[in-house]
Every structure is written in structure tokens, then in C-alpha cells.
């Protein structure tokens, strides 16, 4: 078992990184389309981010991410899929848009954010051990 999949990795820190990345995703979308990232009293960003944050939490539960929080495949892929699908479902039921173009962009961006950083961490861990 390597350092990336070790139970010694602090799951709370990894979850925090995921949360920050989902909020950054929502902020980028708001900045691109609304020009006002926060909206009135921050409610705009919260409105955009909450469906994905709730789905992220569900993804963590379904993948049991705390067991191998940095594993790109075992954890990252499940967290990503649940975050995208769950986030879109929650957006739809809350009256927010789910246009096809948005689903595509969200899927790609969240894949880079939720799987990509884990893959980079794995590569960095392997290089550190090789040195």
C-alpha cells in the first residue's frame, strides 16, 4: 500500500480540498456567466454550489472515501460521477438549469478537479519514493 492510498492520509483534509475545488468550479461558472461571483450577500455562489456540495458528500459516503481518500480510481472516479450526476439532479429539482453544454463542461471540469488532483498526488508520491 503506498502513501496515496494509506489510511494515514487525513480524510478531512482531502475532503476540504474537494469542497474547495467544487466551490471554485461554481465560482468560475458564475464569473463566466453572471460576472458576479458571490451575488447578493454570497447567495449566488451558495445557490450555484450547494447541489454539487451535497452530491460530493454523497459521493464520499458511497465510495467510502475516508478509506483511501487520495485514490484516483477507487475514490476519485466514484466521487466525480456522483458529484456530477447528483449535482445535476439536485439542480433540476431546484429549478436551476441543466443544459447539455453545462453538463459536458461540468463533467470535464469536475473530472479534472476531483480525479485529476488525486492522480497528480499519486504520481508525486511515486516520484518521492523513487528518489
- Mean pLDDT by 10-residue block, N- to C-terminus, for the chain (131 residues)? 52 96 94 78 88 98 95 96 98 94 96 96 78 65
pTM of the shown model: 0.86
Burial of residue 8 (CB within 10 Å: 0-12, 13-18, 19+) is exposed
pLDDT value, residue 8: 56
* 36 located within any domain: yes
pLDDT value, residue 3: 44
* 3 located within any domain: no
Instruction: Provide the domain limits for residue 32.
Output: 11-130
pLDDT value, residue 9: 60
Helix axes 11-33, 43-63, angle to 10 degrees: 140
Q: Name the domain count of the chain.
A: 1
* 2 located within any domain: no
* 111 located within any domain: yes
Amino acid at each position: 500500500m503506498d502513501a496515496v492510498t494509506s489510511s494515514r492520509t487525513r480524510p478531512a483534509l482531502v475532503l476540504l480540498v474537494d469542497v474547495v475545488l467544487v466551490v471554485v468550479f461554481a465560482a468560475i461558472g458564475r464569473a463566466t456567466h453572471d460576472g458576479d461571483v458571490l451575488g447578493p450577500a454570497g447567495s449566488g455562489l451558495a445557490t450555484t454550489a450547494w447541489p454539487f456540495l451535497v452530491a460530493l458528500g454523497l459521493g464520499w459516503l458511497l465510495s467510502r472515501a475516508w478509506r483511501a481518500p487520495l485514490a484516483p480510481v477507487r475514490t476519485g472516479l466514484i466521487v466525480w460521477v456522483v458529484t456530477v450526476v447528483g449535482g445535476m439532479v439536485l439542480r433540476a429539482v431546484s429549478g436551476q438549469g441543466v443544459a447539455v453544454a453545462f453538463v459536458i463542461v461540468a463533467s470535464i471540469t469536475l473530472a479534472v478537479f476531483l480525479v485529476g488532483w488525486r492522480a497528480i498526488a499519486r504520481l508525486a508520491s511515486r516520484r518521492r519514493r523513487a528518489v
